[in-house]
Structure formats: C-alpha cells, structure tokens
Amino acid sequence: MSKGQVLVLGSNATQLGLRGGGTATVGQYLNETAVPALALLDAGYDIVLATPNGAKPHIDAASVSVDHFGGDETAFQRAKYFFASHPAMNDVRTLKSVVDEGLDGFAGVFVPGGHAPIVDLMVDRDAGTILRHFHAAAKPTALLCHGPVVVVAALEDASAFRKALEEGDDAWAADLARDWIYAGYRMTVFSASEEKIAEEQVLKGELYFDMEKALRSAGGNVSVTDKNFASNVVVDRELITGQNPASDRAMADALIEALDRAAA
C-alpha cells in the first residue's frame, strides 16, 4: 500500500541562452532525477511527474555518465532503465492539469536539477502556484542542484525578477522580491564556484547570473560548501535543498524522513 504521492516537477527546456549570444543544450540531470525518484519508490511512495507542456523531460547528455553514480555501473544502468521505461517517468502530466485537479492529495513535491529549470520552471506560474500551496500547507518541498532556483517562481512576477537578475539591477530585484514566502529561509544551491567549472567544461559559455546570487537577491539565507561538488543538504522548515549532483541521495533521504515524519 502506498504511503502517498509525491509530485515531481520536471522541465521541458533544452536550450539555455548564454551571455554574449548563443545557447547551450541542457536538460535535467539523470542522477538528480532518478536517484531521488527511485528512493521514493523504494520507500513506499508513488510519484507523479508533471512538466509545463506535459512532454517528458530531456536528460542532459553531460549527466549520462557512471561518474555521477560514484562509478557504480549497476546503479547507472538502473537509472537509465528507470527513466526510459518506468510508467512514472512516461505518464507525464501538465503542471496546469495537476493544479486544476487540486494539490491536497500530494504529500510532498520534488524538483530535480540540471540547468533546464532555469529556463522554464523558474518563471512558470503553475510552478509558483504549486510551491505556494506546499508552503502554506507546510508539506515537504525538496529541490536539488539548480532546482532550488525554482523557488523564485513563487514570486508575484518571477519573469520580471529573472530579467532584473539578467540586467544586474539589484534594486529592482529586491523590490520584486518583497513578501517572498521563502524570505529568510536557510537554503543551498549549485554554487557560484561550481558554476564557473560548469561554464568552462560543459556549457562553453557564461550564464547571465549565478544561482547563489539569484536566491540571495530574493531574500534567501544561502550557504554552500567550501569544497566544490561535496554533498550538502540544508533543511529549514518544509524546505529541503541539495547543492549539487553529489547531494542526490542525501537530499532524497532528507525528503523521505520529512515525508515519514509528516505522515506519522
């Protein structure tokens, strides 16, 4: 018997604009999607995947590597098979349909990382509605790597906030972030120093803003590890954030613990 349903917010983005022109091909990270999802299923929870347009998310080619699974070939192959074949990864809903049908039946929500969420989920109005619901109900809300930047979708005008970040207008960003529901929350996200490495080695270009600054500009109390790509999870009230790909299992464990505690 299922312990409950967890809503997974996926991205449909495949191209990310870079400073100075050009784009990088992006998607969700395989391990950041599959490791927490499999952990939830193994713990007795069902998952429902929803995206802005209802299409299955694209997996970033940079993440399709055994290196993101600690060199464990069995875990790597299980993740690939899961994402390709499991009904939960293929019966994809639209965010709007999930909102319209009601969110009360979900025990928690999870947002995987990869650069893709910066493009669509960060400014998606339905994602904002979902986050505000889980915040108001104090239900576990977990986000991983670049996923935590999606919490700005809960702002009244997230699109304008992102534009302010892109233009480097700190005063405008601060004004748009007034009354943000996560103001003062402790949280983590893919660090600025980790992003520099990703820009050089993966994206081959510079982003318009880094995720640390985005969340601090909104009012988040952001902390990151001194060591790049070391696992780091921060829990504050209902919000659970993981810093980077290496935080996949630790973030999943924290989410499952919070879900079990809420159910009890």
pLDDT at 120: 98
Reduced to 3 states (helix: H, G, I; strand: E, B; else coil), residue 57 is: coil
Q: What is the pLDDT of residue 202?
A: 95
50 pLDDT more than 90: yes
Percent of the chain clearing pLDDT 70 (strictly above) = 100
Res 80 pLDDT > 90: yes
**Among candidates 244, 189, 195, which has minimal Cα distance to 220?**
189
Q: Are 45 and 61 in contact (CB under 8 A)?
A: no
Residue 201 is predicted with a pLDDT of: 95
Q: Dihedral of CA 138/141/146/150: which sign?
A: negative
DSSP E strand boundaries for 11-100: 15-17, 23-25, 46-51, 93-94
The superfamily (CATH) of domain 5-263 is Class I glutamine amidotransferase (GATase) domain (3.40.50.880)
List, for residues 210-256, the tens digit of each pLDDT value. Answer: 999 999 999 999 999 999 999 999 999 999 999 999 999 999 999 99
* pLDDT beyond 90 at 205: yes
Q: What is the mean pLDDT of residues 174-193?
A: 97
Nearest to 115 by CA among 177, 240, 199, 6: 199
pLDDT, average across residues 184-203: 97
- What is the spatial distance between Cα 162 and Cα 4, in angstroms, rounded to a whole number? 34
CA quadruple 176, 180, 184, 186: dihedral sign? negative
Q: Burial of 172 by CB count in 10 Å (0-12 exposed, 13-18 middle, 19+ buried)?
A: middle
Residue 1 has pLDDT above 90, yes or no: no
Predicted local confidence at residue 48, as pLDDT: 98
Mean pLDDT of 138-149: 98
Q: What is the pLDDT of residues 14-49, one digit of tens each?
A: 999 999 899 999 999 999 999 999 999 999 999 999
Q: What is the pLDDT of residue 7?
A: 98
Residue 144 is which amino acid?
Answer: L
Helix, strand, coil distribution of the chain in percent, nearest 5: 50, 15, 35
pTM (2 d.p.): 0.97
Q: Say which residues have a Cβ less than 8 Å from residue 46's Cβ, sequence separation at least 6.
A: 2, 4, 5, 6, 88
Each domain of the chain, given as residue ranges in start order, spans: 5-263
